[in-house]
Amino acid sequence: MLIIRPIRSSDFEALYQIAEESGHGFTSLPVNEDLLRKKIARVEASFQKQVDKPFDEGYLMVLEDTDTGEVVGTCGLEAAVGMEDAFYHYRLGTEVYYSEQIDVRNEVETLTLCHDYTGAAELCTLFLRSSYRKNNNGRMLSRSRFLFLAQHAQRFGETVIAEMRGESDENGNSPFYDWLQKHFLGIDFVEADYLSGLGQKAFMAEMMPKNAVYVCLLPEEAQKVIGEVHANTRPALNLLQAEGFRCRGYVDIFDGGPTVECNLSDIRSVRESRLLTVNIGDAPESDTNFIISNTQLANYRATSAALLLTEGCNEVTISPELAAGLLLEQGDEIRVLAL
C-alpha cells in the first residue's frame, strides 16, 4: 500500500536521496544535510503546534510504500510564505507612452520586484521517483494536499500559490537568468537557486535591480521564456489549472517561470471533497478510485483506494487493511475525493 504521512527524523536519508535525484530547479530541497535536518525538525514542530492563524509553519509529507518501507515521494505545503524570510517575485506590468505631438503610442511591458504573495499558502516539494510514476500515483500525491487544506483550512493563508519551474537546460542554465547574472548578480543560476533554497537571500535585496525592468530591453531568448514552464512541469501546471489556479502576472525572479494562485475555498478539490463516517468490514467491490485521508493532524494519513459510495449516504464501508493503513477506527470520519 502507498501511504502519505508526515515526514519524520528517521526519513532523513530518504529525503537526502530525493534532494539529489530532484536536480536543478527544485529549490525547496537543496542538497544540504544541515538544512534538510532543520527542515524535518521544523515540520515535526509544525504538526504538533497549536495554530490560531498561519505564520511560518511547514507541512512536508512523504509517500511510503508500506510493502517495502521505502520512501518514494514527497509533497509539501507552506502555511504562510514570507513571514520570516523575504519572498520575492517579479510582477508583470505595463507602462504606456503617448505623444500627441508626434502621434506615437507605445505599451512597454515591465518587471517589478515585489513581495505581493507574503502570507499566502504554498504548494511545494512535489516529487515522485520515476519507478512509481504510474497508476495515477503522481495525481494522488499532488491532489492529496487539497484534502489536507480542506480539513485544516485555518492553518493556511487564504490564497494558495504554486511556483512553476521555468525554462532551463539539462545543466541548469536559464535563458532568463543569463542577463541577470551578467548585469547584476554575477553568480550562476545553480548557485543562486541553491542559496535561495538555503534561505540565504540577502544577496537578492543587495544585488537585484531596484527599479522596474523593461522587458523589451532583455535579450530575445530571455523575453521568450517569461511565464513559460519547463517541459517536465507542464503536467503539474495542467493539473493545477484544472483545479482553478491561474497566473495573475507574477513570475520567478531567477527563471521567469509563472506562479499560479487560487483562493483556498475556490480550489475544485477542496470544494468537492466530502466527509464520510467509516464502517469497517467487508468492503463491496467498486471500480471507482478515491483519494482518502483521515482527519487527524500529527497522525495524518492518506492513500487511494476503490470505494463504493451510495448516493445520499454519509457512511462508507472500508476494509480492515485500509482502516489500519489510515489509522482509523469504527465510526471515525474520512475525507474523500474522486481520483
Q: Are 76 and 15 in contact (CB under 8 A)?
A: no
pLDDT above 70: residue 98: yes
| Dihedral of alpha carbons 186, 253, 35, 232, sign | negative
- pLDDT tens per residue, range 145-174: 999 999 999 999 999 999 998 888 777 778
The model's pLDDT over 171-209, given as tens digits with 9 standing for 90+, comes to 777 888 888 888 888 887 777 777 776 666 777 777 788
Mean of per-residue pLDDT scores for the chain: 91
How does residue 221 score in pLDDT terms, banded at 50, 70 and 90?
very high
pLDDT recorded at residue 313: 83
Residue 55 has pLDDT above 90, yes or no: yes
Q: How confident is the model at residue 47 (pLDDT cuts 50, 70, 90)?
A: very high
**Model confidence over 228-239: pLDDT tens digits?**
998 888 988 999
Question: What is the model's pTM?
Answer: 0.90
Indicate the burial class of 253 (C-beta count within 10 angstroms; 0-12, 13-18, 19 or more). buried
Alpha carbons 166 and 176: distance in angstroms, whole number: 9
Which pLDDT does position 325 carry in this prediction? 96
- And the C-alpha cell for 179? 542577463
Percent of the chain surpassing pLDDT 70 = 96
Enclosing H/E stretch for 221: helix 220-224
Whether residue 25 has pLDDT greater than 60: no
Q: Any idea which residues carry the catalytic annotation?
A: 230
Split at pLDDT 50, 70, 90, the class of 104 is: very high
Parse the chain into domains and list their residue ranges: 274-338
* CATH no. of 274-338: 2.40.40.20
Measured on CA atoms in the order 197, 200, 201, 206, is the torsion positive or negative?
negative
